[in-house]
Structure 1
Amino acid sequence: MSAQSYAVRDAMTMLRRNLKHAQRYPSMSVSTLAMPVLMLLLFNYVFGRALGSGIGGTPAGAAGGGEYIDYIAPGIILMAATSGAVSTAVSVCSDMTEGIVNRFRTMAISRASFLTGHVVGSVLQTLASIALVVGIALAIGFRPSATAVEWIAAAGLLALLVLALTWLAAGIGLVTKNVETASNIPLPLTFLPFLGSAIVPPESMPTGLRWFAEYQPFTPVIETLRGLLMGTEIGNDGYAAVAWCLGLTLLGYLWARSAFQRGARR
């Protein structure tokens, strides 16, 4: 076998290890899924009538239709994509602080397989959580008008975003000293969509906050996702969304690789 074949085999072994670990200790995966689901139900059924009337929609199930669920669902779906960063950071930090990585380094396995297994495993788990959130949104009134091609494009954009955030979370897990810190640092990523266009249009915000909402990285992703699923105007948001995702992926990958190599030299 070639060196590349051995590296792929080792990465698959690490992937199976991480998936089995998530299966045996599902609490983090459940909490990752619970947050966006609770937010979806909260904003649709509790705040939906007030917020929906302000942007021309009403909560699903109310008189007048379910337009507000159609507005917020793309933003909450994106929130599900950001929630996986917490579990990734905790998982990587746990391995780094419990000494298992030192054991891996004494074994004849690819150095890259450790991070690859964590990242691929976390991406798969987060995408599964997103699929469940989409299913719940459809069950409570979300009615996208997307074609099959637009669904595929939306899935590709979400996968790219999840990959970017997972690499960033892996870097966080590598540099933090304990799992408590690792679980707290990625939390702003989970709530950053709220300071974008996930819940209300940026035009309804005060000037300073509106400026931040319009130019932060999640807003073009939300608008692109909303455009693909609901047929709204995308404009240049699609290019900006892909550029942000690719840039964050590269940044996270280089940071995580550098942090892991520094740890190996200690």
Structure 2
Amino acid sequence: MTAVLPGERLSPEPMPGDRVAVRRTFLMCRPVHFAVEYAINAWMTPGTQVDTDLAVRQWEALRDTYVGLGHTVHELDPVPGLPDMVFAANGAFVVDGVAVGARFAHPERAGEAPAHAAWLQANGFGEVRPTQDVHEGEGDLTVVGDLVLAGTGFRTQRGAHAEIQERTGRPVVGLDLVDPRFYHLDTALFPLDDTTVAWYPGAFSPGSRAVLRRLFPDAVEASEEDALVLGLNSVSDGRHVVMPAAATGLAEQLAQRGFVPVPVELGELLKGGGGPKCCTSELRR
């Protein structure tokens, strides 16, 4: 399997035929308050013991991986009493410099939305308003080329899809999630580049599977085994794919397609139902 080389960075002059990495800007939140105190997804069991120091070390390794690949990482200050704030992908959705504030489905996470909005407003994204209906940021929204793919079924409400389209001016494609283990779109699908995705078909309704196969005929289809270690909760820059180390089969598939898998270990955060993407909000200017 191809692996990222020590010190490998985004190449300004890729070789002919190489996949091209695009520099990204991310927002992350250190898990100093991370704990499993309630159950709002199928991965969480209240009372599960969490090694906070280990969670922080694993998070720092993820952050350092992004920086080592040439990406920019900003940090959002964690707020006491919000143990899931490490899952920064959920706090807002940002595309073309427009930031749409999240509206969380569960009250346990509601306090995260204003913290994200305040940071975004302080950093040049203008007024950040939540949607009327529930949407949980990049948990259920992702950008592929000119499209926004939008999940629904467990968290984000379909009414928010129309609001996202109106606010951003980008076409929104609604996708129905049907397996509670894959409660957010980012647990079941991620963009590889501007033209295709990797996904697990079993997470989606028959109609949504048909839509995805029509839109992305060259998509990478992950196995259930790799999906169940949150292998699809990954982040691609078009060349490197930062992904859970346990998703070895998916890594092989990606390497065969010319991508460079970059495995990371986030076992402590998996106890809360999160992986690399859950920890990573992309700021698209």
Higher relative strand content? 2
Which TM-score bucket, shorter chain as reference? under 0.3
TM-score with structure 2 setting the length = 0.26
TM-score with structure 1 setting the length = 0.27
